[in-house]
A and B are shown apart, each in its own frame.
Chain A
């Protein structure tokens, strides 16, 4: 009947239905079966969510706990500064890397049509009743969506669907930049904070619950910071666009470096006191920058000096011995750290500082890294000033982010080093790297977590003990580093031998060959795998609940279901699980969609 019906042959929609859903009798069966399953589960989920037994205020009331655990209120500005830094950088990047892709008004209406049609369909399919289990074990049927409410939502959404259906065919030539359209969507979300009301609970000054619960705008305390940050993001978007139009090349380097340094700044802002003791700055930091700046300048200046050629080996060995001596001497730590950096410069400079331009650039890099190093060491060595009632600063979603970002961030260079080491021709390095990779990868993550929490203290000298979160971070870096190493090795092996030979043929040294020819191509080939592993580490971070850290999952499953005061949320764990699964889904979904676009831009899979 479908095969011969005129509608299913001539109408484009009808033909789509015939070709995709009912092309044969078996596919028609599959369509019905799958459709039944989807609708059945959807009705079940809606019935569960709208069940009068559920108490969703347990989620909304505890939102701050979910996000930052017990981060002190008076220090909240640090959290906002961190979020703001990321957003401003994001705005700048969107503006600067704007691909100029456009979407027509019809295209926008096409999207809106799809969305409103889906909403109308979901409303129409939603169940009217659901089962509530009574205390005595009997089951009562309760109406959750009365007919009039359904009509009230269904009517407007159907009207909108029809309107968008006709609007999308209008031929209007005006085109909109996709980046701007997406920013507008973000703006709409922020604006919704002002008027969308989500039920939560409010208490009066004596801690008594105000009855009846007023419908408060969700996150009534956060919409002002969000608005400010959004405006800032818009400003930076336009600055980025301006810089792109002016064709300022330096930004193409500064933005990635900014993204690279951003987590470090955020870490020091959230965790440390931003206190600078001028005494140490003048007595240790500035002299060290000056002294090492001059030494670095001399190294760069004379690195290709022919008359020094004979003395190069003695000079290198001399610096090595000197740095070992400095490391053992009781000097300020910053000298020790900079000494290591200097050794690296000594190794790198003959390869880069071959021309006048190269020397100039290397010197800039050297001075910048001296400043960065000094800043980091000062930041990391100051005590945290924050005192929280639970004794732990990190918890909830901020801990999840910390583990996911730091896991990726620290494990990437580690994985790269391990992968290069594993493919090295030097047996010692190869065996050590292979050993690390194989040992780390062959033991489950949970076991390593227990190792970090319980056994690591046994291996460390007595009296030495450091924060559990730092232990877990180091371990996470190693664990994902080992996996990254294997992915990167796969990428390295996909590079044809001709690339190595070509690099050799034009006279590149090993350093240049690896970092200018091989690694960029290898990384490009494995981006989808890396994204997958980042998503995995984001989800895996909830495992740290096992060793007693308050991650978002532990807050949802143990902490909130135990609250009896001021509002009793005892036993409300199902709501938390539903919320958490939705929450994780949103983040991983957005992330994977963005990475797909990124892959497309790089042209992966097209050659």
Chain B
């Protein structure tokens, strides 16, 4: 192997560097721990902690500064506890809980019990930033890379000049590319903020920040754009322009994603109606209330989990899906058997009757569950967001898009590949012929209505994640749902799909220019014009079925 000696010498080199660093680190630590330094450190910490007891924001700020300056071992633990609302102060002293809930005395760092009179130390948003900045400077050398990145980000924001030395030193040894990048950006931010740095350093810093290319970077550059002159200003302006350009391109992608996501919500809300209204021709004003019932089922299921099996809370949503389908489906069947079957072929009466049912259902829910919103929390896998080629995509929305497409596929499968689906299509296309073939048309009617209602209930499970679970939930979707079904072409599931995404994307394209209110109006006007031209929607059914 020709490169073996090379490799060996490289390894050796690494080892030397590493051990030198380790030595330096232990030396630094030994220095901090010398007996002479100890009492002063303890005193400073005690003086800092004392000020937490005053329960005033000014004192708390002074305490944070004192603790950060004291450099004692439990400083990081104290400040993290403060940031996470786990620090308590009372006459007997200052105490904190660690993330696991174990209580400690802040002064000694020994386990302790928190006395009853100790109150949580309060922060406001400004102080929270101060604490984050202090923590950032203190945790730059943390062994955990994720923590180092967070620390560097905090320093990027605070631009705390005192952190510069630590960052420079850390950069010489940092191996993790993510952490390196964060450190370099933080260093650039500090340099840019310090007026006395030489110009070439500033220019390099500005370039480095422009490369980062995110919101924080452009925010920082804009902040300094007005205060600089000459070569530096040119670099900053150029940086801003290039980030803006990238953002403009990303904005299109983002709008498209927002449109898809809104489209999936519209589709989800409308898909049940595509069955009850689209396939059966029932003008079902109570459709929104089926969605609401689904959302309330989710609430009840989640409440049961919360009370009896809190550790399984994340599973409440998947379990709510079949339950919501069954509940809303049964209500739907009851409505069909109880009211709608007497009104087939009389659209006006159906409209009024179903409208009445929707009011009854709303008020019933209001009486049972109260008029206020009910809490349905997001499971952990639906919270937060991630970056995808520069686009910010929230997990909740992504899951809803995926879920909607699954529901759509399942429904298609039911209609095309099951005996019930075959019978449904037969009955809706030619009721008398189907009856003559021995299909129990009444039963099929009930099942079809139940299927549409059940799917609306399933939609409610997903919508409980993005909207309020309240008796009014259904109302906000009924108009949109009819819009989608009519636009797509009554009786055509694919039409509903295309219509939902078209309306969603069109809405989101219009919103930045026209605003949410005007955007919606424009969409409605366009839709009316479209219906004038094509009364049967995008994909009109052809053939004999239409004539009935």
**Chain A complexes with chain B:** no
